[in-house]
Structure 1
């Protein structure tokens, strides 16, 4: 039974995320994310890492009126495998709402993800914790504050569940702050002592407790 819970309220749209976690030996998490943009959807996911916080598998199901998609991402021997399923017509739903069509779930070339050890679910503060903990940025070593760490991630887009390779940069700033950046974006995340996001400017803020117990 998972006894620790985290809840975030979205700032950029009407939505929220609730996740149950066990961080005693790496991370095991089961979460639900809701949002109304670009179309209303519910996303449910299950995530497990190894003790070093390298992602082992990531199961995601996204569903809305008239459509449902799922993916399972597994990492073994440095290579990713993606299994997908789709029901209904998300493209038609997006088009009716005045949005461009969605890409297919998954990725056409998993080899593009080679060298990625983390997943990043769009709109989810939970997945920012993966590189933060894997790199030890919640408690940076002497001399590591201000050092930028470039990582490659498997970026899972919502609601399409398309998987894209993305380069990201994480920098420990000290005093419970980590800078998250891409080539075109930067935000200073407030984190708790366990590396879980408290406040992601412009995206989400955490509410409620209890927080996960520290598991260094």
Structure 2
């Protein structure tokens, strides 16, 4: 079960939603969290699904996705599949993302197109 305790301080920008779990979010099937703009959280499903060890077809997962910078938590449908021993396909139906992630042998993202590259 997912839960959140939040508090706000200072003056929030008018267009920034309040942090916490969005009331309509159905997180009962979410096993992992995904921090927006953070490629490191892709490692959890990559390793759990053993995407680098075997050929895994497109697999749907529900994530507790944390929006940045609002820190709102929503249920996000995400899809992972194997391409080869160094590449994984990641897509998000919630946010319209569909990319090939380059990963190291431990499943840590080393290149996420248009977002991050490990140096």
TM over 0.5: yes
CA shift, 1:120, in A, is 0.7
> Secondary structure of 1:179's match?
strand
Q: Tell me which moved more, 111-120 or 189-198.
A: 111-120
Residue 83 of structure 1: CA displacement?
1.2
* Equivalent in the alignment of 2:6: 84
Contact 1:120/1:155 (8 A) holds in 2: yes
Match of 1:32 in 2: none
Please, what TM-score do these two structures have when normalized by structure 2? 0.90
**What TM-score do the two structures reach when normalised by structure 1?**
0.51
Q: Evaluate the alpha carbon distance shift between residue 188 and residue 150 of structure 1 in structure 2; reply closer, same or farther with a 3 A threshold.
A: same
The answer to whether the 8 A contact 2:53-2:85 is kept is: no
Could you tell me which residue of structure 1 aligns to residue 81 of structure 2? 171
1:109: Cα distance to partner?
Answer: 3.0
**Contact in 2 for aligned 1:80/1:110 (Cα 8 Å):** no
Deviation at 1:134, TM superposition (A): 1.3
Alignment of 1:95-106 (within 5 A): 101-106=15-20
Deviation at 1:108, TM superposition (A): 4.0
Q: C-alpha deviations, 1:126-151, integer Å up to 9, x for none?
A: 001111111111322xxx34x01100
Match of 1:190 in 2: 102
Unaligned runs of 5+ in 2: none
Contact 2:30 2:63 in 1 (8 A): yes
Change beyond 3 A, Cα 1:110–1:118:
farther
Q: Distance in 1 between matches of 2:47 and 2:24?
A: 24
User: What is the DSSP-based 3-state SS (H/G/I as helix, E as strand, rest coil) of the residue aligned with 1:154?
Assistant: strand
CA distance in 2, matches of 1:83, 1:122: 19
Secondary structure at the counterpart of residue 136 of structure 1: coil
**Of 82-91 and 166-175, the range deviating more from structure 2:** 82-91
SS across alignment from 1:153: strand
> Runs of 4 or more off by more than 6 Å in structure 1?
none
- Larger-Rg structure: 1
More strand by share: 1
Equivalenced residues, count: 117
Report deviation, 1:154. 0.6
